[in-house]
């Protein structure tokens, strides 16, 4: 299994590019990249704002005929049909931003205590939160792929109930795994998360093999029943 991380604008080697502040333009760009570069089978995992983007990029791929993933994994974000309360990170003072991030947990103390660094990061954080919080859910048919959700038991923005609501967005299998911790519990319990992901993908691979074996068996039966004389004729003609 190979991991392919996504690097949105504003970070590292893309730090000079304009930031996305709405989900639509972001997922259209990402869907185009997936269509051009990703080969099936593959799965998508998204945490927090990334979970919303993962969901919407699959919808975009379905609309444009792109390759669909075999599984969606989401973490730390309520189901998309539940709106979020805007936090207005852009309008916060640096001490307010420090308090906000501290309540979410997961940000190192060295960053929280460096107000110069927080001020530099604020536009990037505000853009990320704008993508997430200014999203408007448009009802559509549920996805036809399994969804697995991971939720922190003490996550202040994504409760068990709100994570369980992801079930409404698929006609396939759904699983919810609760983790000890808050918004960044997937990092605190990374070995368990990795194991659950691997198990889900193994199940998908097993079902795919069984499905292909079943099709091969049916095709072979059809050939024996009605296609044997044609196959023999073709073989004779070939000789």
27-72 per-position pLDDT tens digit: 999 999 999 999 889 999 999 999 999 999 999 999 999 999 999 9
CA 210 to centroid of chain Cα atoms:
26
The 71-75 sheet, strands edge to edge: 43-47, 71-75, 147-152, 174-179
Give the span between the Cα atoms of 151 and 178, in whole angstroms: 5
Residue 225 has pLDDT above 80, yes or no: no
So what's the pLDDT on residue 5?
87
pLDDT of 220: 61
d(CA 41, CA 204): 10
pLDDT score, position 235: 32
- Tens-digit pLDDT profile for residues 109-130: 999 999 999 999 999 999 999 9
pLDDT at 232 over 70: no
Question: Which residues form the catalytic set?
Answer: 48
Round to whole Å and give the CA distance between 145 and 172: 5
Q: What is the mean pLDDT of the chain?
A: 87
- pTM beyond 0.85: no
Per cent of the chain over pLDDT 90 is 72
**173: exposed, middle or buried (Cβ count in 10 Å: 0-12, 13-18, 19+):** middle
Query: Is residue 14 predicted with pLDDT exceeding 90?
Result: no
How much is the pLDDT for 215? 59
So what's the pLDDT on residue 10? 82
């Amino acid at each position: 299994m190979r991991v392919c991380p996504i690097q949105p604008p504003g970070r590292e080697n893309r730090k000079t590019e304009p930031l996305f502040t709405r989900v639509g333009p972001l997922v259209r760009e990402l869907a185009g990249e997936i269509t051009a570069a990703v080969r099936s089978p593959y799965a998508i995992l998204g945490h927090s704002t990334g979970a919303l983007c993962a969901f919407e990029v699959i919808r975009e791929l379905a609309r444009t005929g792109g390759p669909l993933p075999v599984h969606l994994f989401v973490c730390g974000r309520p189901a998309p049909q539940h709106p979020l309360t805007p936090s207005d990170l852009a309008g916060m003072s640096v001490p307010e931003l420090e308090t906000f991030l501290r309540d979410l947990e997961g940000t190192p103390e060295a960053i929280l205590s460096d107000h110069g660094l927080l001020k530099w990061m604020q536009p990037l954080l505000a853009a990320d939160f704008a993508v997430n919080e200014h999203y408007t859910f448009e009802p559509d048919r549920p996805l036809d792929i399994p969804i697995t959700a991971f939720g922190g038991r003490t996550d202040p923005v994504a409760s068990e109930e709100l994570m369980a609501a992801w079930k409404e967005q698929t006609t396939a299998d759904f699983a919810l795994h609760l983790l000890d911790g808050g918004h960044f519990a997937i990092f605190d319990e990374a070995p368990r998360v990795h194991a659950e992901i691997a198990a889900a993908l193994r199940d998908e691979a097993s079902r795919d093999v069984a499905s292909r074996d079943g099709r091969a068996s049916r095709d072979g039966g059809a050939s024996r029943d009605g296609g044997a004389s044609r196959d023999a004729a073709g073989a004779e003609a070939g000789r």
